[in-house]
Structure 1
Amino acid sequence: MENEVQRTASAGAARWIAARIDAVWDLLTGRPVSLYAASVLRIGYGLLYLLFLLREFPHRAEIWGPGSAWTPALAHQLFEQTGWFSILILSDSRAYFELCYVLALVTAALFTLGWRTRVLSVLFAVVVTSFHTRAIFMTDGGDNLILLMALYLVLTACGRRWSLDARRDRLRTAHAGSAPERRRSPFARQLRDARTTLVTVVHNCGMFVIAAQVCFLYGSAGLYKVQGASWGNGTALHYVLNLELFRPWPALSHFVDEHTLVVAIAGYVTVLLQVAFPFVLFGRLKYPVLAMLLGMHIGIAVLLGLPLFSGAMIVADAVFLPDRFYAFLPPLCRRAMWWTGSRRPAPGRAAGSGTVPAQGRLGVPGPKRRGVLPAGREDTTPATEPASPQAPPKVT
């Protein structure tokens, strides 16, 4: 009797493990996750780096050019030790450096717009790596985070939404809608399915790595602060506000520092948010936490003069917002503009449709969601259902 109970328990545990493995496999291969969040990361980091390069345009030669204090020879010596590389030191010519700078601006702009994103993501990663390592001793936390995200975005399908690539695919699908479907051989269909599955797995893994990186950043920052005595007694922000290097607006910093109790509470809340952040991501509590982190980063940008770092962290936080949130934004903006009278919805287009489109590649049917029913039958319900058309609102 006891052996039968043990066998039943072992069989139940094996079924549970098999179900969990199947769920993880379905999560990785079923459909691309967070396509809107990946597009927000692409737009955010591409735009941030474009603005960064434009801001430093008058000082480009002193920072990265042949006239930099960190000479190409010193950079070569450092690269031999670290294993990094930079296309900027392939030549000492000023014309070559100017050409690289112009190409970097064009690459960042096209990557932001989402034109040929697969190729541009690689070029953007090369640009960020080259400029970062060329003047590595002039970087801060924001540059480091943008470098990591540029490398991670190479793995993602960050051009599926809100991009020129997505617009081109929609037009191509619309033009090919009335044409007869070309028959493919079984091998060609299998090859296409394998490619789709591979792209989905790589994209999902890339998004999970990005989320884990952000959690690690917040968690480690919070744990390091807990070890400091100034954060424990609530005086850390007081000392930060009085550092000349981080006082772009001395009068504003002095005004904030006068409110001692508020400064101490802000320090404790900062530590609490950073330590608790990885543990609140699986519930609705993450939304107020993300809102408070947004306020914290805005405060860092204004009070400490670190807009690049704050912008990089704000964009990174966007990975934790679901696709339905981003799909709801365009209808919400159109509705707000309609109510203000500045714009009316286009005829035939719904003003309140917030349905998340299919997560598969445009023009290719979305994969089916598999699940085990109580009777052992397989659930082949499509992962996304087409939204029913809605009539535009009548204007009276």
Structure 2
Amino acid sequence: METEQAPAPDRSIPGGADAGPPRRGAPPSGAFLTVLTEQPVSLYAAAVLRIGYGLLYLAFLLREFPHRDEIWGPGSPWTPKLARQLFDQTGWASILTLSDSRPYFETCYALALVTSALFMLGWRTRAVSVLFAVVVASFHARAIFMTDGGDNLILLMALYLVFTACGRRWSLDARRTRRRASAGKGEEKGKGNSAGSGAGEFRHQLGTSRRTLTAVLHNCGMFVIAAQVCFLYGSAGLYKVQGGSWGNGTALHYVLNLDLFRPWPELSLLADEHDVLIAIACYLTVLVQVAFPFVLFGRLKYPVLTVLLGMHLGIAVLMGLPLFSAAMIIADAAFLPDRFYRSLGRLRRRTSKRPDTGKTVAPPRGEPALVPSQSAPPSY
């Protein structure tokens, strides 16, 4: 029996004719809304931001532990009274100024260490992220003139990460979720449809609304983080273009001769001897920073991120600003796709499964050894 086949669609439709619905997908606006509301993006990048900033602030607090009283405590030159006077003008607030007693300050410092560690590990991330933002904002506002500026970016990122689902990957929350999912599979098989249809429908709608809200907040938060980094690099590059020292390639020469930013004077003098390299570094810095927002949608971003990584490492070593450099390096990690981080995980697992050199596996009892022992592992 023959079947009637539909004629092939005419692909040469003149302009202005009714071409019918699009052949593939939805219009751009609909596709954008679908991505925005249905699926959180860059979950691995958000996890890297959480781990990076949690670890960085924990290391920062531990590094300043011997000097905590001089920076944030009651014995600081910037006294709590001065801080409260500044708060009246700027609108800032800090939990450290609620009391001038030393036991209260030591308790707040210990809680800040614990909060940073829990945020890094991803334990109850939704609530701990709010506590982490409060800690960073409080310590930043308490001694705003006592740090090197790297905590400015950490403060912004801590506020943005509150709205993201940064605990979905590489966290204790993700591990607990996997265990609950594996344990709940057997329970769901025996439950059946005991619940009423009305209650089940309400729970389904409530779960759908919760997932949509989480996806929207996460995606908007990641977009704001990316926009913040783009504005930072773009404004820094445009500001450098206006300066004559960056135009003639001598800006880094003056930076390397500032006593305030010379932790190792001999190393700074050694780097300053190469005039051509200093000029190239000046021009490359300006070019990369200005072009950064325009190369994020292609493969050119990978060499740009590599150059920025080298630039921040140089700032950390030559200028003695490790907190600022580390904060910028972690922020740059937000632009790496999830497939990059998944490939790192596969590479780690593949490396851990390599056979050890010189070790042979004994055959099962009762079976002859079919393959003699080799002196070198097989090549892959």
Aligned ranges for residues 345-364 of structure 1 at < 5 Å? none
Select which of 265, 269, 275 maps to 1:260. 275
Aligned ranges for residues 4-19 of structure 1 at < 5 Å? 8=16, 19=27
Aligned ranges for residues 238-277 of structure 1 at < 5 Å? 238-277=253-292
Matched, 1:140 2:148: yes
Cα deviation, 1:221-272, whole Å, max 9, x if unaligned, reads: 0000000010000000000000011111111100000000001100100000
Letter in 1 for 2:234: G
Select which of 268, 288, 294 maps to 2:303. 288
For 1:136, what is the secondary structure of its paired residue?
A: coil
Matched, 1:190 2:205: yes
Q: Tell me the equivalent position of 2:316.
A: 301
Q: Tell me the equivalent position of 2:12.
A: none
Cα deviation, 1:69-124, whole Å, max 9, x if unaligned, reads: 11111111111111110000100110000000000000000100000000100000
Q: CA 1:340/1:80 → structure 2, altered by over 3 Å: closer, same or farther?
A: farther
Q: Tell me the equivalent position of 1:318.
A: 333
For 1:140, what is the secondary structure of its paired residue?
A: coil
Matched, 1:172 2:187: no
Q: CA 1:39/1:235 → structure 2, altered by over 3 Å: closer, same or farther?
A: same
Cα deviation, 1:363-383, whole Å, max 9, x if unaligned, reads: xxxxxxxxxxxxxxxxxxxxx
Distance 1:212 1:157 in 2: 18
Question: TM-score scaled to structure 1, two decimals?
Answer: 0.81
Q: Is the 8 A contact 2:148 2:321 kept in 1?
A: no
Distance 2:293 2:280 in 1: 21
Distance 2:277 2:217 in 1: 45
Structure possessing the higher radius of gyration over alpha carbons: 2
Q: Tell me the equivalent position of 2:51.
A: 43
Q: CA 1:274/1:88 → structure 2, altered by over 3 Å: closer, same or farther?
A: same
Count of aligned pairs between the two proteins: 337
Distance 2:310 2:168 in 1: 30
TM-aligned CA deviation for residue 212 of structure 1: 0.3
Cα deviation, 1:32-68, whole Å, max 9, x if unaligned, reads: 0000000000000000000000000000001000111
For 1:264, what is the secondary structure of its paired residue?
A: helix
Matched, 1:22 2:35: no
Letter in 2 for 1:150: A
* Aligned-CA RMSD value: 2.3
Q: Tell me the equivalent position of 1:381.
A: none
Q: Tell me the equivalent position of 1:215.
A: 230
Cα deviation, 1:336-356, whole Å, max 9, x if unaligned, reads: 3444849x9xxxxxxxxxxxx
Distance 2:125 2:55 in 1: 14
Select which of 203, 209, 214 maps to 2:218. 203
Select which of 81, 97, 101 maps to 1:93. 101
Letter in 1 for 2:247: G
Distance 1:154 1:33 in 2: 16
Distance 2:258 2:286 in 1: 20
Distance 2:292 2:149 in 1: 19
* Structure 1, gaps ≥5 residues long: 1-6, 13-17, 345-394
TM-aligned CA deviation for residue 9 of structure 1: 9.1
Distance 1:221 1:102 in 2: 36
Q: Tell me the equivalent position of 1:230.
A: 245
Q: CA 1:173/1:260 → structure 2, altered by over 3 Å: closer, same or farther?
A: same
Q: Tell me the equivalent position of 1:54.
A: 62
Distance 1:38 1:215 in 2: 17
For 2:145, what is the secondary structure of its paired residue?
A: helix
For 2:281, what is the secondary structure of its paired residue?
A: helix
TM-aligned CA deviation for residue 10 of structure 1: 12
Matched, 1:161 2:176: no
Distance 2:355 2:104 in 1: 51
Question: TM-score scaled to structure 2, two decimals?
Answer: 0.85
Percent identical pairs in the alignment equals: 72
Q: CA 1:222/1:10 → structure 2, altered by over 3 Å: closer, same or farther?
A: farther
Q: CA 1:340/1:40 → structure 2, altered by over 3 Å: closer, same or farther?
A: farther
Q: Tell me the equivalent position of 1:333.
A: 348
For 1:178, what is the secondary structure of its paired residue?
A: helix
Cα deviation, 1:262-307, whole Å, max 9, x if unaligned, reads: 0110010000000000000000000111111111111111111010
Matched, 1:31 2:46: no
TM-aligned CA deviation for residue 20 of structure 1: 2.4
